[in-house]
Structure 1
Amino acid sequence: MESARVAEESPAGVMLFGGLLLFAAVFHHVDELLLLDNPVGPALALLLDGTPAVVLVLAGYRLWQSSLNPAERWTVSTWTVVGSVAGGLVIGGTLAVRAYEGRPLVEPVFPLLTSLGVGGVAGAVAGYFNARAQRDARRAAVLTDALSFVNSVIRHDLLNDLTTIRGHADVLAEGHRPESVETISRKTDEATERIETSRSIVETVTGDGALEPVDLTVPIEEVAAQTRETTLATVTTDCPETATVRANRGLRSIVDNLVENAVEHAEGTEPRVHVAVTQTDETVRLAVADDGPGIDEATARALFDDSSGAASGLSIVDRLVAAYDGEVWAVPRPEYDGLGAPDWDEDDGIVFVVDLPSA
């Protein structure tokens, strides 16, 4: 925390450094300006070594007012110091060689001040473009990762829907069953909704998405109803009337993937899934429990790994929750003592828990 504060305030160091150089230049030349009959020479010298100092003061001020983050500000400030030191060492080295050779040094302070100032300005410019280049590179990497991620999201989420549509289309072709027509229509609408949601997911993952108050209970009830219609699972919910979090349309993907995962890993031909929401003044907690065989803690931690680059349902949840400044984890159901735990007799299953900031 202390290092971050130092980096944030590093532009003040650039301004201070420039101010010290300017003071040194004025102090060095003021006697010449006052005593010499022709002050043109000292005035030109002050212009040469004072101007870079003024530029450094202005550069530090602009850096202070810029949108660069603390790390980028620290980069610019560091390059400024390195450039100034490099310039001073070059001129200081030539002066040292002359002194070693026994040559007279005529006003050595003037070229030294000039080199320090010019080197600092050059370093500030180089540091600024370096920081911008690093930002652009990070931005490009994030965008590339986001596009790959969303492509995997679409493939993962839509594959299940389109497979269902295809199956019912085959049934419809053979038996002309009206319920299949209804299912095709519903799943097509759901696929369309997922595609429209993908834009929110892109913006969320890249950090450009505008977050707004969203009622978490709405997608929960929608997903629960959909799951009851399309599977043999018994899905129960325990939610308040409203539970508002800061999110966007991608919130539904979190609920959808957690419930889908719970149904897939629940036990028996009629699996049970329980979805509960509890809230405090600061957070809203979503808990999704199943009655499956359960897993150990190490396996639970590995569930959210997306290092392969392919988006599983749980890695989608992990990325979106992180973008919403929340937390997600999994615990064996017998070890979950939070509110909203299902009242089941069996000591098995797993609970996925998501904490999101209240809106």
Structure 2
Amino acid sequence: MDRHQLAKESPIGVVLFGGLLLFAAVFYHIDELLLLDNPVGPALALLLDGTPALALVVAGYWLWCSPFDPKGRWTVSTWTVAGSVAGGLVIGGTIGVRLYEGRPLVEPVFPLLTGLGMGGVAGAVAGYFNARAKQDARRAAVLTDALSFVNSVIRHDLLNDLTAIRGHADVLAEDHRPESVDVISRKANEATERIETSRSIVETVTGNGSFEPIDLVAVVEAVTAQTRETTLATVTTDCPETAMVRANDGLESIVDNLVENAVEHAEGAEPRVHVTVSQTAGTVRLTVADDGPGIDQATARTLFDNASGDASGLSIVDRLVAAYDGTVWATPRSRYDGLGAPEWDETGGTVFVVDLPAV
């Protein structure tokens, strides 16, 4: 299980931990409740150490159903465990002191269970506010990145499209040329698509996107066809007929950014990029490989952790993939098996890998 999946399912650990404490409390007090003539004392004791344990079970279930992302879930879960450990250490410390001093101990399990439970509840509350603060900070950063991306698209890509439209419109005005009509029509359509894509990206990275089944193969073919028209790079593909994932127009930005990044880092008079799409049980994999100088394994492991705030690059890819419940990572091409690329020099090159849930 990878870290993303472990963080996503961490609330289950909170539920199990709370359930274990609750079971221990009931098991410890059940004999007293059944055997004593006056069960009020044991009932109150069970209320004191059982209620926090039950609260942890409820908190874990709530966390599982909450809108927290995996990072937020992991934060609350780890704070819960840390709080419980701290509470247990405090009570355990007092018990240890009494033992060291030779004092008699009366029911040490009861205060220990209470300390573990109350510490866990306190940790869960603290973790909730900590996760909320981090989530709000991430949302602010995401919104900034998204707005920066839209600005980048409008200033660069869309400006280029409109410049081409204006130039060919001038040519068409001077001399009726059918090829200019085709360019104007194509560039106008591309400009419209970029505006729609920008809106989808903003909605997706801010958590307001709506998703539908989209054919990743069709997106790859469209992006690589356009790349071949605008660069000198040799772009090859290896794709099945279809590969459906749940996404929106932002999926095109993932492919476009990774292909553009590969073209920029490819080397030689004829730089080469190879794009593949494959599908296994429940997962669709996109790989984008180049024949550039590559990166070392240590850099590859932290590439997306240290992605810059440039919203038109790897940062947006990382955020969009996460929004689609996928994972993205990079590796030196020599360390990636099963690429299926043409015979390239194995000493260089980088592979970017995106795994998305299949529909």
After TM superposition, the score normalised by the length of structure 2 is: 0.65
In the alignment, the residues of structure 2 paired with residue 114 and residue 219 of structure 1 have an alpha-carbon distance, to the nearest angstrom, of 61
1:66-115 deviation digits (Å, cap 9, x = unpaired): 3235774564576468668869999xx9xxxxxx9xxxxxxx979x9998
Contact 1:52 1:114 (8 Å CA) reproduced = yes
Contact 1:262 1:288 (8 Å CA) reproduced = yes
Whether 2:151 is the aligned partner of 1:150: answer no
Aligned residue among 36, 43, 46 for 1:53 = 46
In the alignment, the residues of structure 2 paired with residue 190 and residue 316 of structure 1 have an alpha-carbon distance, to the nearest angstrom, of 18
SS in 1 for 2:275: strand
Instruction: Identify the residue that residue 96 of structure 1 maps to in structure 2.
Output: none
Shift of 1:194: 1.8
Shift of 1:188: 1.8
Contact 1:289 1:352 (8 Å CA) reproduced = yes
SS in 2 for 1:165: helix
Give the share of equivalent positions with the same residue, in percent: 37
Alpha-carbon distance change, 84 to 276 in structure 1, aligned in 2, over 3 angstroms: closer
Alpha-carbon distance change, 181 to 81 in structure 1, aligned in 2, over 3 angstroms: closer
Shift of 1:239: 1.9
Shift of 1:255: 1.1
Instruction: Identify the residue that residue 10 of structure 1 maps to in structure 2.
Output: 17
Contact 1:21 1:117 (8 Å CA) reproduced = no
Instruction: Identify the residue that residue 326 of structure 2 maps to in structure 1.
Output: 325
Contact 1:157 1:194 (8 Å CA) reproduced = no
In the alignment, the residues of structure 2 paired with residue 77 and residue 343 of structure 1 have an alpha-carbon distance, to the nearest angstrom, of 51
After TM superposition, the score normalised by the length of structure 1 is: 0.65
Shift of 1:195: 1.7
In the alignment, the residues of structure 1 paired with residue 357 and residue 110 of structure 2 have an alpha-carbon distance, to the nearest angstrom, of 56
SS in 1 for 2:192: helix
Aligned length: 328
In the alignment, the residues of structure 2 paired with residue 263 and residue 347 of structure 1 have an alpha-carbon distance, to the nearest angstrom, of 18
Instruction: Identify the residue that residue 201 of structure 2 maps to in structure 1.
Output: 198
Instruction: Identify the residue that residue 62 of structure 2 maps to in structure 1.
Output: 67
SS in 2 for 1:136: helix
Aligned AA (1:342): P
Whether 2:135 is the aligned partner of 1:132: answer no
Shift of 1:11: 0.7
In the alignment, the residues of structure 2 paired with residue 79 and residue 287 of structure 1 have an alpha-carbon distance, to the nearest angstrom, of 42
Gaps of at least 5 residues in structure 1 are: 34-42, 94-99, 101-107
Shift of 1:256: 0.8
In the alignment, the residues of structure 2 paired with residue 358 and residue 124 of structure 1 have an alpha-carbon distance, to the nearest angstrom, of 34
Instruction: Identify the residue that residue 356 of structure 1 maps to in structure 2.
Output: 355
Gaps of at least 5 residues in structure 2 are: 64-72, 98-102, 174-179
**Equivalence map 1:163-202=2 (5 Å):** 163-168=159-164, 171-172=167-168, 175-176=171-172, 178-179=180-181, 181-199=184-202, 201-202=204-205
Contact 2:83 2:122 (8 Å CA) reproduced = yes
Whether 2:273 is the aligned partner of 1:277: answer no
Instruction: Identify the residue that residue 254 of structure 2 maps to in structure 1.
Output: 254
In the alignment, the residues of structure 2 paired with residue 264 and residue 88 of structure 1 have an alpha-carbon distance, to the nearest angstrom, of 60
Shift of 1:289: 4.2
Instruction: Identify the residue that residue 105 of structure 1 maps to in structure 2.
Output: none
In the alignment, the residues of structure 2 paired with residue 265 and residue 70 of structure 1 have an alpha-carbon distance, to the nearest angstrom, of 35
CA RMSD, Structure 1 to Structure 2 (Å): 5.0
In the alignment, the residues of structure 1 paired with residue 255 and residue 331 of structure 2 have an alpha-carbon distance, to the nearest angstrom, of 14
Alpha-carbon distance change, 197 to 329 in structure 1, aligned in 2, over 3 angstroms: same
Contact 2:239 2:277 (8 Å CA) reproduced = yes
SS in 2 for 1:277: strand
Alpha-carbon distance change, 157 to 342 in structure 1, aligned in 2, over 3 angstroms: farther
In the alignment, the residues of structure 2 paired with residue 315 and residue 113 of structure 1 have an alpha-carbon distance, to the nearest angstrom, of 50
Alpha-carbon distance change, 137 to 313 in structure 1, aligned in 2, over 3 angstroms: same
Contact 1:276 1:286 (8 Å CA) reproduced = yes
Shift of 1:249: 3.8
Contact 1:200 1:248 (8 Å CA) reproduced = no
SS in 2 for 1:297: coil
Aligned AA (1:356): D
Instruction: Identify the residue that residue 40 of structure 1 maps to in structure 2.
Output: none
Contact 1:217 1:242 (8 Å CA) reproduced = yes
SS in 1 for 2:296: helix
Contact 1:11 1:77 (8 Å CA) reproduced = no
In the alignment, the residues of structure 2 paired with residue 27 and residue 336 of structure 1 have an alpha-carbon distance, to the nearest angstrom, of 63
